[in-house]
Amino acid sequence: MTNQEPPKKRITQVDLFLDAEELEKVERSVMDRWLTEGPNAAKLAELIRDYTKTKHVVFAPNGTLGLFLGLLGLDLPRGSEILIPAFTFYGSAMSAVFAGLKPVFVDCYPDTYNIDVEDLERKITPATRAIMPVHIYGQMCDIERVMDVANRHGLAVIEDAAQAFGVHFNGKHAGTFGNVGVFSFFSDKSITMGEGSALFTQDDALFERLKLLRNQGRPNSGTFIHPEHGMNFRITDLQAGMGLVQFGKLDRIRSRRNELWRLYASELAGVGDIKLMQVHPSSDVIPFRVAFTTAHKADLEAFMREENIETRGFFYPMHLQPKLKSDPPVSLPVSEKLSETGLCLPVHHHISDDDARRVAATIRTFFANR
């Protein structure tokens, strides 16, 4: 017999807030024999329109394809430049590449991690046609200033709001500022359908075009005459049923994640060299990650792993990605530094206050031992 302590409970980075309600809804679709996009999707679109005040909603199979569909809808000239923050998920940049555009990367602010509007304006050239601002980690970028730049230079805007469902800037919902806004409902997003995406637009003509593009170039299914080119970007009603239940949980998700955020912030105040992400004063937040920077990232990450706590690093910047880096290389120092120093703590519905306190106490122990 040894006196070894039992392993500590594992605290995972991501967990799903699912229960019998989602299961019942999916079962209902099966029993009703309605699997492809149908009544659940129509109801979900209606609820989303009412809640976000967007004029139009269409769905897509995931956020990456949602961005791709949005760019096809904007019909930008092939080879034209689109400005994208370097600090984002790979899917943002890939949607542009596959739409035949040239991504040009922009640095971000060190405190909010969102697109640096001065750098954005500096990167505009005669070939620039669009901007893809990204709303990072559950808050919005300074979208009003981005829109001001876009309007002054005549550029289209596609908001990558993959991580920002339920989030507002000066009271206006993410994804309703640009020509088109795109959300993700992937498993780690605040509300999820497993995979899935919603596109918002306020523009009637663009809405009509998106509907054709996503449904094989025809206004309705069941006809074999296709007036336009189009693909299949439909979702299933199984997904949409799950989305309906998740949408009903949004307020609980928002308040719990904000409680956890505040708890972490008070427990970690003044600890080591930790700097928590700051939120722009005009944005509200549904924390997608509790993100911070420290010069001791690698050691802290290893220490947390030994304590059975999962952390996650930040994005690797787009301008350094093997298939995206330019020759000569560009330098975007803030995005690079964030990638080197950033770490995320778990924030989801199965983290109790005690779990969050244990995470914070582990971080305090790490710094106390240095």
Ligand X SMILES: Cc1ncc(COP(=O)(O)O)c(C=O)c1O
**Binding footprint of ligand X on the chain (CB under 6 A):** 62-64, 88-89, 91-92, 134, 160, 162-163, 184, 186, 197
What span, in angstroms and rounded, lies between the C-alpha atoms of 335 and 316? Answer: 8
Residue closer to ligand X by CB (options 303, 314) is 314
Smaller CB separation from ligand X, 183 or 292: 183
Q: How many helices (H) and strands (E) does the chain have?
A: 12, 13
Q: Which residues contact 5 (CB under 8 A, 6 or more apart)?
A: none
Nearer to ligand X, 186 or 200 (CB): 186
Distance CA 140, CA 52 (A): 15
Nearer to ligand X among residue 201 and residue 362 (C-beta): 201
Q: Nearest distance from residue 120's CB to ligand X, in Å? A: 17
Residue with tokens 């498993």: 187
User: Using CA atoms, how far apart are residues 34 and 300, in angstroms rounded to an integer?
Assistant: 49
**Which residue's CB atom is positioned nearest to ligand X?**
63
3-state secondary structure of 153: helix
- Closest approach, Cβ 222 to ligand X, in A, equals 29
Q: Hey, what are 186's tokens?
A: 């992937």
DSSP characters over 52-119: H--SEEEEESSHHHHHHHHHHHHTPPTT-EEEEESSS-HHHHHHHHHTT-EEEEE-B-TTT-SB-HHH
How far apart (Å, rounded) are the C-alpha atoms in residues 165 and 66? 14
Q: At how many degrees (to 10) do helices 353-368 and 297-306 cross? A: 130
CA–CA separation, 159 and 130 (whole Å): 10
Nearer CB in complex with ligand X: 198/300: 198
**Cβ atoms of residues 77 and 117 within 8 Å:** no
**CB of residue 186 vs ligand X: minimum separation in angstroms?**
4
Determine the Cα–Cα distance for residues 136 and 94; give it in Å rounded to an integer: 17
Q: Minimum distance between the CB of residue 188 and ligand X, rounded to whole angstroms?
A: 7
Cβ 324 to ligand X shortest distance, Å: 15
Which residue's CB is nearer to ligand X, number 197 or number 341? 197
Amino acid, single-letter form, for residue 47: L
- Shortest reach from residue 239's CB to ligand X, in Å: 12
Nearest distance from residue 84's CB to ligand X, in Å?
A: 10
**C-beta closer to ligand X: residue 91 or 243:** 91
356 near 267, Cβ under 8 Å? Answer: yes
Give the nearer residue to ligand X in terms of CB position, either 184 or 362: 184
Pairing of β 156-160 and β 56-60:
unpaired
> Token pair for residue 350?
């199965």
> In this complex, which beta carbon is closest to ligand X, that of residue 158 or of residue 260?
158
For the bound state, the minimum distance from the C-beta of residue 339 to ligand X, rounded and expressed in Å, comes to 15
Cβ of residue 82: shortest distance to ligand X, in angstroms?
14
Dihedral pair phi/psi, residue 159, rounded to 5° = -80, 125
Q: How far is CA 290 from the centre of its chain?
A: 14
Cα 153 → chain centroid: 26
